[in-house]
Amino acid sequence: AWREPAAYTMLQREVRPLPGQPGVLQVQASFRNDARWAQDWPALRLSLSAADGRVIGRRTLQPGDYLPAAQGAPPALESGQSAQVAFLLREPSAATVAYTFEFR
């Protein structure tokens, strides 16, 4: 299958502390496949940084890590199709102030 991770576009993203659970981050994101063909769900690399720009945590999540098992997600995202994902993540440090996403 053709793969072009750069053809995924992040539409919205949010990483914030989960209320009532210290050290846990709630991650929500929506993205779209802008390739001219269907693509497999991408791997998502999330990097967390401190105020000085130093990366203090990085994790690459495979689709099985961020898609609910019960959802029964299609094997691919069609051209122009958008998706929303949400998952919890352990915060590597209280110094976390910034984040970036990359598609792999």
Mean per-residue pLDDT over the chain, rounded: 93
Is the whole-model pTM more than 0.85?
yes
pLDDT digits (tens, 9 = 90+) for 78-104: 999 999 999 999 999 989 999 999 999
Check residue 36 and give its pLDDT: 96
Check residue 74 and give its pLDDT: 73
C-alpha–C-alpha distance, residues 46 and 58, integer Å: 6
Enumerate residues 6+ apart whose C-beta is below 8 A from 68.
Answer: none
Point out the residues of the chain with pLDDT beneath 70: 1, 70-73
